[in-house]
Structure 1
Amino acid sequence: MPETPAHSIETLIEARWVIPVEPSGTLLTDHSVAVDGGRIVAILPTEEARRHFVAQRYHRLTDHALIPGLINLHTHAAMTLLRGYADDLPLMEWLKGHIWPTENRHISPDFVRDGTRIACAEMLRGGTTCFNDMYFFPEAVAEAALGAGMRAAIGLIVIDFPTAYAGDSDDYLNKGFALRDRLRDEPLLCFTLAPHAPYTVGDKTFGKIATFASQLDLPIHVHLHETEDEIRQSLAQHNLRPLARLHNLGLLGPGLIAVHGVHLTPDEQALLAEQGCHVAHCPASNLKLASGFAPVVALAGQGVNIGIGTDGAASNNKLDMFSEMRLAALLAKGVANAAALPAHAALQMATLNGARALGLDDSIGSLAPGKLADIVAVDLSGIETQPCFDPISTLVYAAGREQVSHVWVGGELRLDSRQLTRLDERELKLTANVWQSRITH
């Protein structure tokens, strides 16, 4: 019988290993990912893929592992311009004494756009293809993400005091919804309602947010139970812990992304599970600000979906999802036992779990036919990753963002052999220097 003609596609990526993330722990050796129209059309053994497809572009990555694009479930991208500005301080002293006054002096669309562009460059070079942001002037965040060709969940920030961005909670909401209406058809963007925290948002505003989230089917992205001081303050003002207060106001549910979740009682952990809430775990930021150790193992045991975030570069000080994966796994082991949060679970937290929290798991977060081609290639040929008995373990415990060689977003190459394709690194360095001079003078 005659052979079936080969199908013409845009891109065929051949790799030593493909790690699709689901089913959990799956490792495919000598496989290829076929991409066409921005989506994965097949994952096949390489010899079979060569027979089935003729590609416009071939990438033969013989020492690499392919993984889904990493998803940074919580960050303030523009705060990259404040990297290292006020280090080694507890959260409230850091915020009230340094960060908030500096933001009041410098916050503007230009600040946000420039800081976010630098953040996008850093994240893409580290294998992050999607980030969930919370910051002022979200239109500038969106502009920067689109310019970088990167996927972003744009937080429509809401607080109860005026800033250069908005005058009151209604102004924040109105501006946010206008932005969403304008950009809702952009394929790289989605949106969340982003009330900053229980200590900056009142009951009336939270009530509005709960109503809008339900009506518009938008996730709610909020800092929650980050510090013991936050809980003491809530008890003094509301006679309720923050989670109970939000529960009473109708915010808990499958659309809630609780950022940090460090100080949670067993009953509160069970409530998050019962309500189908998600947690954005930010291990490095929690350690650096001495916020504490999130009960990740206990939460996961209850069935809570946990993703990983870097927080902003001002409190981390880097947007490095590889180091966050490793730290999350090691902290879980230190708090629980050596078998807690194995490597494949940490990788899933940094990919598929983040997609689930954002309601995007049908499109991103794993490598599967039909999903968007958000793909990262990691070069495991270096001495730092040898020998490689288990590529998944090597990715989490030995590899780093410096091993990321290629990044595709929707099938479009955004990092090619460590070189950014849409952002000028030299220009971004000059921009960072300009802002450093402004902030320090």
Structure 2
Amino acid sequence: MNRIVLRDLAIAVTVDADDTVLRDVSIAIEDGVITEIGAVAETDGDTVVDGRARLALPGLVNLHTHLSMTLLRGIAEGVDLQQFLTRVWAAEGAVMDPATVELGATLGALESLLGGCTTQLDMYFHHEAAHRGAVAAGSRHVGGPTFFDGPGPDGLAWEERMAGLRAWPEVLRAIGGPEVPVAAMPHSTYTCSVEHLTEVASILKEIAPAGVLHTHVSENAAENADTRARFDATPTELLANAGALEGPAHVVFGHGVHLTETDRDLAAAAGVTVAHCPGSNLKLASGALDWKRWRAHGIPLGIGTDGCASSNDLDMWQAMRQAAHLAALTSGDPAIDAEQIVRAATIDGAHALGLDDLIGSLEVGKRADIVLLDLDQPHLTPVHDVPALLVHAAGRGDVTDVLVDGRIVVSEHRSTQVDTRDLLDRSRTRARDAAAAAALAVQEA
């Protein structure tokens, strides 16, 4: 039996149904499962982590990202979404082969884990390579086949994509890693026809009734205008027409900034979760999601970073803070409950993926995806309001230790799973090799 005790924690933020915050408490973990929260007397022979001056909370859930784009950080600056896509797709087609995707996913997963993000909903092509790379770093990685009507950056025909979807559950089991749902990821309604969206949703429902369908929706106003001009419908209406909101058990919209009132009605009725990505939305001038209005409409919200080509990093703490500030700005109400933001980044994200019975809160019987923060810092002293501390003061540099599925994957700021120096060296070399090809591809695009 593998037993770990997080002993004498200063604070434990459980994110349970009552948002309970515990003080001076220990957490025991056996074979990946939280077995005790409270006074834990028996520690002989256990792996013991000193929790003094440490705050424990559930691992953060990044509900929309593209991990492998860490290698494309900074290649499309100072442009809007449409120009961004033109540049990035050209670069991806030129350089992002399976080996590069795997390398980028490992680098992205490492960045995420060092910052306390244990689960990522990661949309990227060469999905098998991306999953292998993220799992190697220790992440709970939710990935799956991506879909485009045309060949896309990976050059696959539609039939090959569908074959990849049918094979994905078995391939997922073979690669291994922490438990995750089967996911299918049509890129968007402007890259996938209604007929193809219907096919993806239908096959996903057949092979994985508890699966996740994830797609970009209404990221900026130009996307909505283009979709209306072409189809006389919004992206959400197209998804509804395709049956993509009814079949899959879990549907996650990436961005969802410009949902109309009708869109919000459709999304709320279908139980869709919107992955709010404030960093990339601000940087690309895509717009500001109205947090309070979306919530009032009954739409659950999670938080995402988007990929490093658009947001430039995978910092969930910054995304949480941006989400809180934007919520206050768009509503004109500074009284935004920080607990909502914390829940969006943990249990609500887990619920969106159908994983809330396993992760997202610190409760006996759940898998141990846990993050420890060092409270012995000037900017985290004193602690008057714990949720506000997490949202408005804490940062990824405060993360000391991270557990995923009961395994310590970060210890005292360092990965226990990968050779960080080797990974950084290989990433820099590949990025230098890719830069010339990417620049040429961008010029020709």
Q: TM-score with structure 2 length normalisation?
A: 0.93
Letter in 1 for 2:171: R
Q: Distance between the aligned counterparts of 2:94 and 2:145, measured in 1?
A: 22
Equivalence for 2:382: 387
Q: Distance between the aligned counterparts of 1:270 and 1:239, measured in 2?
A: 18
Equivalence for 2:221: 228
Letter in 2 for 1:203: V
Would you say 1:87 and 2:77 are equivalent positions?
yes
Letter in 2 for 1:30: D
Q: Distance between the aligned counterparts of 2:256 and 2:45, measured in 1?
A: 46
1:266-345 matches, cutoff 5 A: 266-345=261-340
Letter in 1 for 2:47: R
Equivalence for 1:399: 394
Shift in Å, 1:240: 1.0
- The answer to which of 179-188 and 345-354 deviates more is 179-188
Shift in Å, 1:437: 1.3
Q: Distance between the aligned counterparts of 1:203 and 1:40, measured in 2?
A: 44
Shift of the 414–206 alpha-carbon distance from structure 1 to 2, 3 Å rule, reads same
Would you say 1:63 and 2:53 are equivalent positions?
yes
| Alignment gaps of 5+ in structure 2 | 437-445
Equivalence for 2:194: 203
Q: Distance between the aligned counterparts of 1:157 and 1:261, measured in 2?
A: 19
Would you say 1:417 and 2:412 are equivalent positions?
yes
Letter in 2 for 1:49: V
- The answer to which of 238-247 and 361-370 deviates more is 238-247
1:62-141 matches, cutoff 5 A: 62-96=52-86, 98-141=87-130
Q: 1:191 aligns with which of 171, 182, 199?
A: 182
Q: 1:251 aligns with which of 244, 254, 257?
A: 244
Tell me the percent identity. 34
Q: 1:19 aligns with which of 13, 24, 35?
A: 13
- Matched-pair contact (CA < 8 Å) for 1:282–1:324: yes
Q: Distance between the aligned counterparts of 1:156 and 1:55, measured in 2?
A: 43
Q: Distance between the aligned counterparts of 2:99 and 2:2, measured in 1?
A: 40
- The answer to which of 372-381 and 181-190 deviates more is 181-190
Q: Distance between the aligned counterparts of 1:176 and 1:83, measured in 2?
A: 29
Q: Distance between the aligned counterparts of 1:387 and 1:17, measured in 2?
A: 13
- Matched-pair contact (CA < 8 Å) for 1:332–1:340: no
Shift of the 115–105 alpha-carbon distance from structure 1 to 2, 3 Å rule, reads same
- Matched-pair contact (CA < 8 Å) for 1:372–1:411: yes
Q: Distance between the aligned counterparts of 1:32 and 1:214, measured in 2?
A: 41
Letter in 2 for 1:92: Q
Q: Distance between the aligned counterparts of 1:57 and 1:210, measured in 2?
A: 44
Deviation string for 1:229-282 (max 9, x for gaps)?
A: 111111111111111111111111452101100001223212211111111110
Q: Distance between the aligned counterparts of 1:234 and 1:310, measured in 2?
A: 25
Q: 1:358 aligns with which of 339, 343, 353?
A: 353
Letter in 1 for 2:399: V
Letter in 2 for 1:95: L
Shift in Å, 1:184: 3.0
Q: Distance between the aligned counterparts of 1:144 and 1:419, measured in 2?
A: 18
2:390 partner SS: helix
- The answer to which of 223-232 and 383-392 deviates more is 383-392
Equivalence for 1:4: none
Q: Distance between the aligned counterparts of 1:180 and 1:394, measured in 2?
A: 40
Shift in Å, 1:42: 1.4
Would you say 1:261 and 2:256 are equivalent positions?
yes
Aligned length: 429
Equivalence for 2:433: 438
CA-based RMSD of the aligned residues comes to 1.6
Q: 2:170 aligns with which of 174, 178, 181?
A: 181
- The answer to which of 228-237 and 74-83 deviates more is 228-237
Q: Distance between the aligned counterparts of 1:151 and 1:166, measured in 2?
A: 28
- Matched-pair contact (CA < 8 Å) for 1:376–1:408: yes
Shift of the 167–9 alpha-carbon distance from structure 1 to 2, 3 Å rule, reads closer
Letter in 2 for 1:93: Q
Shift of the 164–226 alpha-carbon distance from structure 1 to 2, 3 Å rule, reads closer
- Matched-pair contact (CA < 8 Å) for 1:297–1:340: no
Letter in 2 for 1:57: T
Letter in 1 for 2:59: G
Deviation string for 1:128-155 (max 9, x for gaps)?
A: 1111111110111111122112111112
| Alignment gaps of 5+ in structure 1 | 1-7
Q: 1:212 aligns with which of 198, 203, 223?
A: 203
Letter in 1 for 2:69: M
Equivalence for 1:49: 40
Deviation string for 1:38-78 (max 9, x for gaps)?
A: 0100111xxx322x554511112211110001111111110
- Matched-pair contact (CA < 8 Å) for 1:155–1:221: no
Shift of the 9–151 alpha-carbon distance from structure 1 to 2, 3 Å rule, reads closer
- Matched-pair contact (CA < 8 Å) for 1:264–1:295: no
